[in-house]
Structure 1
């Protein structure tokens, strides 16, 4: 897993590895899209993400880990901050101003951390969906200290497992590229290429498995809230209730929408692009270029997740909003619509939604 940036002795280009023994072909094209547009877009992401996640981390330091939801959100904040810190190296590499040493660091370390944190976020979003579904279906369930300890241990296990999965990508990217073109794939050993493909397939399973979980959970949440709304709706509040129901549905599907927009396009592009790296003889030069641009474009949307996650914290986490208002000395009354955006149709519906928030 890496950002593949290439440099020649005459001009900065993009090149692709054609065989497993690292032989190269003449496929190299300059790409203004990647050398100009990409650094600008990632620079914008870096500024926004650093600001928003810096604020989010400051707020979460003030919130005790008293629920599964908070524990999962704190793990996502850590993952987003680490991902954000990889953006400057991506910017330098894509703009072709990075030294060879920096480019090697991007291939061996920075890009691995980027993908590691991406899948950390994906897994914890899946766990958040399960937790929100459980709270909706069984709102009276009590979160004990023992259960919280188990969730903390689960979080450590997830981090350790994904680090172990990605670590060989650092260790096995140890060759010296003497081809005259700088290529991340060219730095991988023979075993590194094999492991690269294995990791991509495992990550695909992680993503699509979590996507199925997220969809199922939010369908169940939506149905339960809708049933609760129908049970408690009174005739004189029909018009008001219809307006509230729209807000309910919008918030329910916020996580699902972010998940799909940020991660689905990239995972459609990932497998064919990887094949163009490791089985280059099967692809023409033009196909390799198109796959590379497709992968890089969708990768930016995956990076966008680091900016959108703080919005999820704000809209879906009541403790986060309360702590944020206190930190900024803002009266919650000015954001009353946001605080009650999941409705006060009747007591039963409100209680279920408060469990979600």
Structure 2
């Protein structure tokens, strides 16, 4: 089965014309890296008494740093200048890290949205859910779950195939690795759909509650909060929904259930295009930190106000 699939990949070359993507990945890497470093500096110098939302955002920041470590390897491989060993390392390690970041981002965005919604309820029954201890515990569970799903894609032994110019990561996988790859894809899709429901429902309920107070004296603050939530929802939909629409048919093409070469090429191009959108959440997250973390926002505001004062003096 492995030899047949490898030969089909050699006949049907879907891994071409990757250069245009590398320029966008490089831009995302630069913006995301400096944004994440700035966020790390702000969080480490903020007040240690962080709320539930800040803990989720810090976990999101850690996931973003993992992505910044993985992107340079993908850029080098897509440019076609990587050595054979580097290609193997990318397929076995850094490509998996990209997906670890994606699903950690999706899950923690779900918790941030849910926590934001709970803050508008102010129910004593839900007080325990909004404690720092609960946030730390659920964060540990999330990391364990995502790593349990993704790490076998790193650890399962791969095929020792002859060195060649055009190769896809799926070509390195043995039969058991291919089966786990398909299984982990469908588990990841289930995570995405569940988290999407949490995010959309939580944000809808928050908008509904805030809109009830549109006639009060604090309308400007409420309007600003509504805009923030709508921006977060739009950013989530743009970054993650297109990729997961393409994911199922692309996985079927990897498993040779879809055999048509031209369709495989279209699906691969669609996968790479939508994966780029997903990775662009690296640029979006620093904006999220500013809007959803009061400690982060306060630190940024104080820093820039101090710089203005020094300049004026």
Distance 1:216 1:145, change over 3 A: closer
Structure 1: runs of 5+ lacking an equivalent: 1-17, 234-239, 334-357
TM-score scaled by length of structure 2 = 0.90
**Aligned ranges for residues 1-357 of structure 1 at < 5 Å?**
22-25=5-8, 26-28=11-13, 31-32=16-17, 34-35=18-19, 37-63=20-46, 64-138=48-122, 147-178=131-162, 180=164, 181-230=166-215, 232=216, 241=219, 246-280=223-257, 282-330=258-306
Q: Distance in 2 between matches of 1:296 and 1:30?
A: 10
- Which runs of no fewer than 5 residues in structure 2 stay unpaired? none
Answer yes or no: is the 8 Å Cα contact 1:172–1:192 preserved in 2.
Answer: yes
- Aligned-residue offset at 1:150: 2.3
TM-superposed CA distance for 1:330, in Å, is: 4.1
Deviations 1:129-164 (A, max 9, x none): 110110011177896799312221211111111111
Q: Distance in 2 between matches of 1:305 and 1:85?
A: 15
Instruction: Compute the TM-score of the two structures, normalised by the length of structure 1.
Output: 0.79
The C-alpha deviation readout for 1:20-39, integer Å capped at 9, x for no partner, is 8534221126733x12x111
Deviation at 1:84, TM superposition (A): 1.5
Aligned-partner Cα distance in 1 for 2:289–2:308: 16
1:229, 1:139 → 2: CA distance?
Answer: 21
Deviation at residue 182 of structure 1 after TM alignment: 2.3
Taking only aligned residues, the RMSD between alpha carbons, in angstroms, comes to 2.6
Distance 2:27 2:280 in 1: 10
Whole-Å separation in 1 of the counterparts to 2:264 and 2:129: 52
Larger Rg: 1
Q: Find runs of 4+ consecutive structure 1 residues off by over 2 angstroms.
A: 18-23, 29-32, 139-147, 178-183, 243-249, 315-318, 325-333
Paired residues of 1:116 and 1:162 also in contact (CA < 8 A): yes
